[in-house]
């Protein structure tokens, strides 16, 4: 499938490491910038497709390849052997490096800049919202490792999305987040893990559409308006 975007290179604010990123611009009036954070599977065709979709909504999107330090160009399938490698790479990416890489992407965008991420990227989005400068809003999809970061509060409007039947994220963990941040919108869907991806067995179209709508509404409320940051 042909893509609307291009591969660019960015220099991490953490250590100067140069990494790849998928970059796509909106074809119409620009609403703002978006840093899109991958699942553990890398910047896959699915992530590029999601980036293209947000570009159609008016956002200039950068999807950094956060695992380039460990394996440049890593893209995994959902097979067991690929899953094991993907988990290992995600565990080898400390949050300070993730934040430094994300900051480079934020700095490459103009106007209001938002962040959204899925799975590992859901927790990474929380870390970016807490640690990075220039983030106007964050949407975190089923981030299991968010509970590792509860001492670091996001510094921008943030919403969370979880599946009620997600075996990897017990509802007790979700309640732990709610107890710590009672004013933060935490949305629960009648779905499992990965419900927003049409590549996953737990894909739930209705939940995916609603979570995406809520994400776009958050961005709009937080300054994502037509003509922002040309």
Task: Show me where the domains of the chain are located.
Answer: 6-221
pLDDT of residue 117: 98
pTM: 0.95
Give the separation between CA 183 and CA 172, rounded to whole angstroms. 18
Give the separation between CA 6 and CA 150, rounded to whole angstroms. 35
132-163 confidence digits (pLDDT tens): 999 999 999 999 999 999 999 999 999 999 99
Contact 229, 134 (CB under 8 A): no
Write the CATH number of the domain with boundaries 6-221.
Answer: 3.40.50.1820
pLDDT of residue 208: 98
Dihedral-angle region of residue 154 (phi above 0 means left; psi in -120 to 50 means alpha; beta otherwise): beta
pLDDT of residue 28: 82
Which two three-digit tokens encode residue 72? Answer: 């440049």
Contact 165, 188 (CB under 8 A): no
**Which residues are within 8 A (CB) of 189 and not within 5 positions of it... i.e. 6 or more apart?**
161, 162, 163, 164, 195, 204, 207, 210, 211
Parts of the chain with a pLDDT under 70: 1-3, 225-230
pLDDT of residue 165: 97
Give the separation between CA 86 and CA 75, rounded to whole angstroms. 9
């Amino acid at each position: 499938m042909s893509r609307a975007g291009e591969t660019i290179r960015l220099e991490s604010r953490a250590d100067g490491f140069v990494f790849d990123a998928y970059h796509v611009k909106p074809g119409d009036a620009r609403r703002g910038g978006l840093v899109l954070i991958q699942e553990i599977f890398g910047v896959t065709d699915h992530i590029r497709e999601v980036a293209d979709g947000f570009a159609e909504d008016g956002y200039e999107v950068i999807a950094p390849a956060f695992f380039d330090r460990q394996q440049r160009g890593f893209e995994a399938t959902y097979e067991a052997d690929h899953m094991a490698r993907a988990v290992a790479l995600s565990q080898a990416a400390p949050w300070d490096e993730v934040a430094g890489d994300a900051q480079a992407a934020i700095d490459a965008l103009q106007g209001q800049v938002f962040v959204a991420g899925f799975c590992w990227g859901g927790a990474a989005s929380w870390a970016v919202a807490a640690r990075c400068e220039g983030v106007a809003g964050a949407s975190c999809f089923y981030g299991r490792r968010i509970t590792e970061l509860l001492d670091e509060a996001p510094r921008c409007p943030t919403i969370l999305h979880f599946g009620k039947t997600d075996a990897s994220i017990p509802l007790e963990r979700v309640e732990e987040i709610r107890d710590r941040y009672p004013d933060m919108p935490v949305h629960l869907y009648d779905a499992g893990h990965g419900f927003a991806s049409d590549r996953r067995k737990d894909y739930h179209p209705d939940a995916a559409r609603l979570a995406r709508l809520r994400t776009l509404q958050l961005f709009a409320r937080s300054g994502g308006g037509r003509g922002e940051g040309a």
